[in-house]
Amino acid sequence: MENFLAQKKKIIVQQWTDQVLDSYGAPDFFKKQKNQFANPVGSTISAGLQEIYTVLAEGKELGRVCKPLEDIVKIRAVQEFTPSQSVSFLYLLKTIVQQELAKDKKNSVGQESLTELDNRIDQIALMAFDFYMDCRERLNQIRINEVLSGRHTLTDGTKCVSAMLKRDKIESADNIQNNRLT
């Protein structure tokens, strides 16, 4: 399996990256813009998937995927993805590998090797779900702290002092205008 994954690395990683980026609203931007500062989401996802694939392909310890996996999951946890959608990108890899195996008539990869790879991907998916839940818990704690401290009123515009002054100024100007017309 390691030989097959090494030979097909470029093809599989490209397909995987494309499919993950297709789950976003502007996949063309994420795919074409390679600058990490102009496209931090696409850059982080591309680099992270590459690292995760390398760990899987080379049979390395799964603990080595923690950083890239957490980086990807953090992005997906703050977006409009359900928990299952946030971690589903890992399961795309299984399908891509199976498709590439089916295309390669001379592969000598046995079912046992494929099952082992699937199990490793499942373990990474469980790690991803743990990262997702941790991130969502932190986000919710931040929201709770904002409500308790009163800072939330500055972000919704209803009680923000500058927004109130601006609204009063507009209302005052409208009143003056209405008085002139009558």
Half-sphere CA count of 111, side-chain side, radius 13 A: 0
pLDDT of residue 37: 75
CA atoms lying within 13 Å on the CB side of residue 136: 15
Pair of tokens at residue 108 = 């000598």
Q: What is the pLDDT of residue 142?
A: 86
From first CA to last CA, the distance across the chain in angstroms is 85
> What is the tally of helices (H) and strands (E) in the chain?
10, 0
Q: How far is the C-alpha of 72 from the C-alpha of 76, rounded, in Å? A: 6
CA 177 to chain centre: 51
User: DSSP per residue over 51-104, as a string?
Assistant: HHHHHHHTT--GGGGHHHHHHHHHHHHTTT--HHHHHTHHHHHHHHHHHHHHH-
pLDDT of residue 38: 77
Question: In the prediction, which pLDDT does 149 show?
Answer: 77
Cα distances (angstroms) measured from residue 69 to each of 9, 91, 93, 171: 18, 13, 14, 51
Whole-prediction pTM: 0.77
pLDDT at 46: 94
Tokens representing residue 39 in the block: 């496209």
Q: What is the pLDDT of residue 80?
A: 83
What is residue 29's predicted lDDT score, i.e. its pLDDT? 64
pLDDT for position 153? 58
pLDDT below 50 — which residues of the chain? Answer: none
Crossing angle for the helix pair 9-21 and 40-57, nearest 10 degrees? 140
pLDDT at 23: 87
